[in-house]
Structure 1
Amino acid sequence: MRIAALIVAAGRGTRAAAPGAGPKQYALIGGRPVLAHTIAAFADHPEIDEIKVVIHADDGELYAHASGCTAKLSPAATGGATRQASVHSGLEALAASKPDLVLIHDAARPFVSAATISKVIATLKSARAALAALPVTDTLKRASDRGVVEDTIPRAGLWRAQTPQGFHFEPILDAHRKAAEQGLDKFTDDAAIAEWAGFDVAIVEDETGNIKLTTAEDLKLADRQMTSNIAFEPRTGTGFDVHRFTEGDHVWLGGVKIPHTHKLEGHSDADVILHALTDALLGAIGDGDIGQHFPPSDPKWKGAASRLFLEDAARRVKDRGGRIVNVDITVLAEAPRVGPHRPAIQALIGDVLGLTPDRIGIKATTTEGMGFTGRREGIAAMASASVLLPYGLSE
């Protein structure tokens, strides 16, 4: 039996995330995007064979940084104007792989447990549809238009619908197709479509921890919960880079264009500071070196701004749930002088790595006329980076 998970991540949800951070499913909790945690919950489950994520058309880059690496993840599908349309799009995209069962889940529920996933799958052995839900424990009131209590609603038999919601694949795809054909687009969850199509929907009691992150406060609490359960270990990486001078009128150092009598020769912009710093970050996480990820033999990187390399290294740290603590750089050169440009270099590096200036050391020294730098044949730079990486859950 082939079982797929369909994760719905096409919503905007911007009111929950920090300004400029994008939709809530890409907000960071515990050092990783919400969506990354949600994908991992299904990727780690032994009964799930395939994961399909439905994303907004504008979120391709955000998704690429959040999706991580798992063999179960198939290419993302593009969502529609409503949740119902997004799920329908995802189901159509899954049709080619012919799953027997599908579990449909909200991206904003990263705390779903393996036990809940297992119970929904088990229920589908005897039912065409299964709904993770929680019994209503609060007293419910219906309010009038004047904002006063109009009625008390008995809570017996009432449940709060959650996800995952599980279905036999072909029947739920057929139900979505029929609803779309009839112009019915107001269903707020897939269990409602199943009910409309005449399915009996079995209830699976969920766990209270499977909350949906809706507000900014939810994200803060989730981050606190994730972080409190993660133990971090310090990592240190070092980098070294050197480039020779050639004819020109400026050099790039730390992403800053500095007038000079020569320029540095290299396939990219030959920025020794950013090259050394990129290698230091890659070294801290054991992920090769700059030449491996951006080979000088590739014409794509000819003349490229080295900021791109540093951004990629920072993303690799972030994708591992890591945090960059501080960086320190020493430039070896007779000229040009680095000191006057220190604030600008710190500002650029801080912008890329999310660090304040007090966490970015920029120093320069000469070699007293000795060696290739002393003979003004080129410039060298050394860098170190300190990173905190999660290595497991604390007890």
Structure 2
Amino acid sequence: MTVAALIVAAGRGTRAGPGGPKQYRMLAGEPVLRRALAAFATHPGIDIVLAVIHPDDREAYEAAAAGLPKLAPLCLGGATRQASVRLGLEMLETLKPSRVLIHDGARPLVSPGIISRSIEALDAHAGALVALPITDTVRRASDGFAGETIPRDGLWRAQTPQAFHFAAILDAHRKAAGAELTDDVAVAASAGIPVAMIEGDEANMKITSADDLARAERLLMNGGETRTGSGYDVHRFGPGDHVMLCGVPVPHTHGLVGHSDADVGLHALTDAILGALGQGDIGQHFPPSDPQWKGASSDRFLAHAAKLARDAGARIVHVDVTFICERPKIGPQREAMRARVADILDLNMDRVSIKATTTEGLGFTGRSEGLAAQALATLSFR
């Protein structure tokens, strides 16, 4: 089963006021669209992410999407949302997904749980709609005055994603071309596709106005939990002509002795992420007594910790590694190490810090008997 996410971001968003399309406005340091894309691109149940954008937004999109995994080549949208979705579905057709989640690029706070429930609903249903039941009194207005009360029983506020079996919703969109229906559930209904309701989340708001941006920023800053984990690792020097540090081979007069590749930087960082998750330490997940890990590349350990974080609904916000050694010199390889860690964790490089210090000749590192590293990882949970 292949699951695709289709992120619709071709609108102009004029109600958000001056400052460019709302999906490219900054939200807590990142573009709105990047947050929407990342929610799906980092979800373990999603295999492909395709964005549908306005032809004028290529440069803004490339900047917003840089470095994210699972992205298919972008699709240019049409004159209406419905046309944009159809064009996106037709581009996805060549990739043969079995299921698709269609999501508004202006909903940046969709949670991993909503995505998971949308996928799972398709095990039993032809379609699924994320929505919230209306709890306020609803009235019809007449000439600026309060009119009749509308019974709210059974009324829901539709959100996205809206999930479907791929072939059925593509066929429905093709048949409904030009009808200007309001959303994909309406398209599905026109083709007789039943759609189940999934309860959504108030945080899964759509950015429409400048006030919405401010509210979303408050939710991001105050609505989640932040945890910090620490890690520490040591390996002694032995025979060899290089050491592996944060995934980079560094020339040296000795190697490091260990069951895997003895990368103290990645080992400490793996432990830091596991610590923030409350998931024990690296030895519990990759026992040194297990021969399959003999000589293993430590990027596998770090990637495993990153996946556990995603599965827990956490976002790795920042990592910091400090090497403690007299030699080799870390400075010449620092940027390569930052780039490698950023690649493994799918982070921007400005969220990766790597530095080094000495012990002024004191202790085992001062005597150049081995090398140590300590790490901190900051994770955000929502």
Structure 2: how far apart are the matches of 1:165 and 1:45?
16
Q: 2:110 aligned with 1:116, yes or no?
A: no
Cα deviation for residue 119 of structure 1 reads: 1.0
Cα deviation for residue 394 of structure 1 reads: 7.9
Structure 2: how far apart are the matches of 1:30 and 1:321?
15
Pairing of 1:104-143 with structure 2 (within 5 A)? 104-143=102-141
Counterpart in the other structure of 1:178: 175
Structure 1: how far apart are the matches of 2:14 and 2:63?
18
TM-score w.r.t. the length of structure 1 is 0.58
Please, what is the CA RMSD of the aligned residues?
Answer: 2.8
Contact 2:42 2:69 in 1 (8 A): no
Amino acid at match of 1:221: R
Structure 2: unaligned runs, 5 residues or longer: 229-330, 340-346, 352-376
Q: 2:379 aligned with 1:392, yes or no?
A: yes
Cα deviation for residue 232 of structure 1 reads: 12
Structure 2: how far apart are the matches of 1:158 and 1:207?
16
Cα deviation for residue 221 of structure 1 reads: 2.3
SS at 1:7 equivalent: strand
Amino acid at match of 2:379: G
Counterpart in the other structure of 2:304: none
Q: 2:44 aligns with which of 31, 43, 46?
A: 46
Contact 2:118 2:163 in 1 (8 A): yes
Classify 1:394/1:103 alpha carbon distance in 2 versus 1 (closer, same or farther; 3 Å): closer
Contact 2:138 2:151 in 1 (8 A): yes
SS at 1:59 equivalent: helix
Classify 1:288/1:173 alpha carbon distance in 2 versus 1 (closer, same or farther; 3 Å): same
Contact 1:11 1:23 in 2 (8 A): yes
Counterpart in the other structure of 1:84: 82
Classify 1:122/1:224 alpha carbon distance in 2 versus 1 (closer, same or farther; 3 Å): same
Contact 1:32 1:319 in 2 (8 A): no
Counterpart in the other structure of 1:193: 187
Classify 1:321/1:167 alpha carbon distance in 2 versus 1 (closer, same or farther; 3 Å): farther
Counterpart in the other structure of 1:9: 9
Give a deviation string over 1:78-111, Cα, whole Å, max 9, x none: 0011110110111011000010000000011111
Give a deviation string over 1:240-283, Cα, whole Å, max 9, x none: xxxxxxxxxxxxxxxxxxxxxxxxxxxxxxxxxxxxxxxxxxx9
Give percent identity, aligned residues only.
53
SS at 1:41 equivalent: helix
Contact 1:30 1:321 in 2 (8 A): no
| Between 217-226 and 97-106, the greater mean CA deviation after superposition | 217-226
How many aligned residue pairs are there? 246
Structure 2: how far apart are the matches of 1:134 and 1:81?
29
Counterpart in the other structure of 1:207: 201
Classify 1:188/1:319 alpha carbon distance in 2 versus 1 (closer, same or farther; 3 Å): farther
Amino acid at match of 2:58: G
Structure 2: how far apart are the matches of 1:13 and 1:71?
26
SS at 2:40 equivalent: helix
Structure 1: how far apart are the matches of 2:158 and 2:335?
43
TM-score w.r.t. the length of structure 2 is 0.60
Contact 1:32 1:321 in 2 (8 A): no
Structure 1: how far apart are the matches of 2:81 and 2:167?
19
Cα deviation for residue 213 of structure 1 reads: 1.1
Q: 1:167 aligns with which of 164, 167, 183?
A: 164
Cα deviation for residue 120 of structure 1 reads: 1.1
Amino acid at match of 1:187: L
Contact 2:227 2:380 in 1 (8 A): no
Contact 1:101 1:169 in 2 (8 A): yes
Cα deviation for residue 222 of structure 1 reads: 1.9
Contact 1:28 1:223 in 2 (8 A): no
Q: 1:150 aligns with which of 131, 147, 150?
A: 147
Structure 2: how far apart are the matches of 1:5 and 1:321?
27
Counterpart in the other structure of 1:216: 210
Larger Rg, first or second structure (1 or 2): 1
Structure 1: unaligned runs, 5 residues or longer: 234-282, 293-317, 323-389
